[in-house]
Amino acid sequence: MSDTRAATTSDRDVTASGVAALNDLAPEDARQALLGCCAAERWAENMECARPYASPQAVHDQAEAAFATLLREDWLQAFAAHARIGAPRAGDERGAAEQAGASSASAEELAALQADNDRYEAEFGHVFLIRAGGLDAGQMLAALRERLGNPPARELDIAAEQQREITRLRLQALLA
Radius of gyration for the alpha carbons in the chain, expressed in angstroms and rounded: 18
60 is catalytic: no
Q: Of the listed 42, 82, 84, 147, which one is catalytic?
A: 82
- 51 DSSP assignment: P
Helices vs. strands in the chain: H and E counts, helices first: 9, 0
Nearest to 168 by CA among 57, 89, 25: 57
CA angle 44, 124, 79 (to 5 degrees): 20
- 100 DSSP assignment: G
Long-range contacts of 115-121 (CB under 8 A, 24+ apart): 116/141, 116/144, 116/145, 116/148, 117/84, 117/85, 117/86, 117/87, 117/144, 119/148, 120/144, 120/147, 120/148
Active site residues: 82
